[in-house]
């Protein structure tokens, strides 16, 4: 037997290093990760908007005997949920302890960077004789990444009488798709001299929509009219109906396995629907919950968590207050105490080291793809400005929880100091006095139309969320 050197023994005992899921997970766990990834990818391909993300979650919950929460809700349901304006869903499951001891809560967001149609979008460009849709981008996109790719339309139109029309064009193989037509390199001399961030002006994001004119010599804008006529025949809508519509432009391609070993997932909207889906599965699959457990899908994170569906709204507080009252406590007296005793994982993605751009990462403290779910102590910018900064006591308890349950995890931060900045929902949840830390899946190409995750990390995120709901606070 070869004797291990003292130095090797000390290194194994004292040092910390990230470990790849594929080297430490047993074969059956690796197989589970691949199966789980397929289920996640199927959800991702359907959950193209906030509304669709919430609707799909509701369908999954109903199949598991979860019911809409009311103050007189039935006690024989597996759990409860409440939907806010079709863009939030809060899910509740009882715990071994009552809610006066606090909750375990996982919050993610289901809005993603994208491009929206304007309220009066359709026009006919006179020089090119083409119909286009005018747009306004949402969140932190890199505009050049959206040029010259197939695009779909998803959303809702609310007619004057209140009728809701669902719009979906571009996902079915028989559907047409749309695109932002890019500039050919032969005529791009001036564009090539610009900074990358300025190469595509926002007003160049004009969606190519149609080219056939309506056959009537008495009317102008014949191509626009033909497009309106097609929309009216297909959906029963008029141009004025766009004023009360919410239509999002998304990539018109499905998720795909990435890599010769199929170890990664490429797809749109993984920031942050990967954390939404894994948290949904975690609360459903948990064998039991030590504390009352809540999973919350927020909206508007990509633009500051604003509005009545963002994390700054009182929706989640109102939901918790109603649960307190349902369990025969007085929310007017104990809501603040419950919130201060609550433990929160802010489920949001982080940036893994990109092999093509390693220079923006501080390698010792950067997440590595395939090395597990990532705990991020703080985000913000410069000197941790506008950040939640998780307390070491909370981190230590999570380390113990994850290690004792063989969850593959790592710690990381977003980029080198002063290179960039980012924020999450964590700081808004912490304002209520809860313990909060960011805990989510590392990605490559974040905010692009084709983000990359590791199947091992997706599965590790699910397992981390599941053991957190099952065992934290015991």
In a domain, 195, yes or no: yes
Give the end of a domain, one of 196, 224, 251. 251
For Cα atoms 354, 205, 224, give the angle at the middle one, nearest 5 degrees.
Answer: 150
Position 1 scores a pLDDT of 62
Claim to verify: residue 80 and residue 221 sit in the same structural domain: no
The total of structural domains in the chain comes to 2
Claim to verify: residue 302 and residue 448 sit in the same structural domain: yes
In a domain, 134, yes or no: yes
Name the token pair of 335: 């809501």
Task: Report d(CA 18, CA 20) in Å as an integer.
Answer: 7
Residue 228 belongs to domain with CATH number: 2.30.250.10
Position 110 scores a pLDDT of 98
Claim to verify: residue 313 and residue 422 sit in the same structural domain: yes
pLDDT averages per 10-residue partition of the chain, 474 residues? 83 92 97 99 98 98 95 79 98 95 97 98 97 98 98 98 98 97 96 95 98 94 98 98 98 98 98 98 97 98 96 97 94 96 97 96 95 94 85 97 98 89 89 96 98 99 99 86
Q: What are phi and psi of 35, to 5 degrees?
A: -65, -45
Claim to verify: residue 198 and residue 336 sit in the same structural domain: no
Q: What are phi and psi of 207, to 5 degrees?
A: -80, 120
Position 126 scores a pLDDT of 94
Residue 297 belongs to domain with CATH number: 3.40.630.10
Claim to verify: residue 104 and residue 215 sit in the same structural domain: no
Claim to verify: residue 372 and residue 409 sit in the same structural domain: yes
pTM over 0.85: yes
In a domain, 28, yes or no: yes
In a domain, 6, yes or no: no
Claim to verify: residue 225 and residue 132 sit in the same structural domain: yes
Claim to verify: residue 129 and residue 241 sit in the same structural domain: yes
Q: Identify the domain containing residue 216 by its residue range.
A: 114-251
Position 200 scores a pLDDT of 96
Position 204 scores a pLDDT of 97
In a domain, 148, yes or no: yes
In a domain, 177, yes or no: yes
In a domain, 9, yes or no: no
Claim to verify: residue 215 and residue 303 sit in the same structural domain: no
Claim to verify: residue 118 and residue 163 sit in the same structural domain: yes
Q: Got the DSSP string for 25-78?
A: S-HHHHHHHHHHHHHHHHHHHH--SHHHHHHHHHHHHHHTTEEE--TT--SSSS
Claim to verify: residue 340 and residue 409 sit in the same structural domain: yes
Claim to verify: residue 223 and residue 310 sit in the same structural domain: no
Q: Number of C-alpha atoms within 13 angstroms, CB side, residue 191?
A: 12
In a domain, 404, yes or no: yes
């Amino acid at each position: 037997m070869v004797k291990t050197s003292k130095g090797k023994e000390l290194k194994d005992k004292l040092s910390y290093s990230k470990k790849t899921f594929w080297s430490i997970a047993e074969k059956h766990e690796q197989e589970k990760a691949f199966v789980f990834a397929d289920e996640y990818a199927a959800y991702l391909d359907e959950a193209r908007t906030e509304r669709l993300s919430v609707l799909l979650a509701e369908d999954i919950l109903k199949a598991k005997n979860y019911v809409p929460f009311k103050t007189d809700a039935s006690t024989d349901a597996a759990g409860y949920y409440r939907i806010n304006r079709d863009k939030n869903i809060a899910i509740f499951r009882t715990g071994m302890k009552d809610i006066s001891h606090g909750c375990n809560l996982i919050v993610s967001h289901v809005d993603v960077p994208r491009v929206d149609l304007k309220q009066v979008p359709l026009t006919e460009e006179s020089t090119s004789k083409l119909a286009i849709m005018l747009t306004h981008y949402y969140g932190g996109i890199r505009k050049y990444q959206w040029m010259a790719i197939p695009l779909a339309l998803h959303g809702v139109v609310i007619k004057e009488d209140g009728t809701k029309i669902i719009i979906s064009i571009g996902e079915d193989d028989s559907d047409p798709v749309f695109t932002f037509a890019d500039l050919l390199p032969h005529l791009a001399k001036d564009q090539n001299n610009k900074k990358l961030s300025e190469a595509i002006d926002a007003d160049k994001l004009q969606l190519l929509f149609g080219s056939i004119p309506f056959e009537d010599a008495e009317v102008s804008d014949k191509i626009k009219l033909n497009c309106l006529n097609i929309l009216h025949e297909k959906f029963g809508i008029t141009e004025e109906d766009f004023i009360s519509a919410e239509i999002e432009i998304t990539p018109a391609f499905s998720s795909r396995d990435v890599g010769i070993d199929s170890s990664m997932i490429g797809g749109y909207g993984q920031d942050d629907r990967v954390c939404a889906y894994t948290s949904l599965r975690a609360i459903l699959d948990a064998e039991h919950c030590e504390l009352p457990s809540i999973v919350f899908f927020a909206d508007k994170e990509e633009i500051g968590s604003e509005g009545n569906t963002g994390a700054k709204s009182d929706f989640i507080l109102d939901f918790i207050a109603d649960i307190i009252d349902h369990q025969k406590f007085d929310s007017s007296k104990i809501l603040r105490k419950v919130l201060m005793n609550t433990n929160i994982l802010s489920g949001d993605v982080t940036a893994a080291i990109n092999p093509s751009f390693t220079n923006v990462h501080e390698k010792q403290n950067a997440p590595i793809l395939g090395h597990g779910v990532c705990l991020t102590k703080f985000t913000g910018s410069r000197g941790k400005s506008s950040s939640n900064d998780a307390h070491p006591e909370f981190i230590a308890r999570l380390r113990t929880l994850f290690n004792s349950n063989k969850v593959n995890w790592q710690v990381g931060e977003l980029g080198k100091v002063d290179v960039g900045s980012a924020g999450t929902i964590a700081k808004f949840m912490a304002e209520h006095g809860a313990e909060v830390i960011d805990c989510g899946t590392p990605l490559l190409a974040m905010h692009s139309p084709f983000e990359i995750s590791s199947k091992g990390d997706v599965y590790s995120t699910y397992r981390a969320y599941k053991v957190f709901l099952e065992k934290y606070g015991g």
